[in-house]
Amino acid sequence: MMVLRLVAAWKIRRKRNQQPEEEDEMLVRLDQAYLEWERETLTRGRLEGELKGKLKAVPALLARSFRVEEIAQILGLSVDQVAQAQQASTN
């Protein structure tokens, strides 16, 4: 968010100084690129967090006698991911 504030402040200063139009277009592209990067980063972080939460649930489900295949289906994970989480929880 700090970057977006800096870009916004720069944009205001440039408008006061009557900068050339092509520089304004560059700034708009920069704004759009930053917003796209921010959106992708937030999405990636959310997906990683969801996966981490699912993997954290694996040991509890195993302790309740669910089979690896059942856990994979319930959580929407691959059998390999569940097996790796199982192995990590026993280490």
What is the tens place of the pLDDT at every residue in 30-55?
778 888 888 999 999 999 999 999 99
Domain residue limits, the chain? 2-90
Q: Is the pTM of this model over 0.85?
A: no
Note the pLDDT of residue 47: 96
Closest CA to 12 of 34, 32, 29, 27: 27
Spatial CB neighbours of 82, under 8 Å, sequence gap ≥ 6:
58, 68, 71, 72, 75
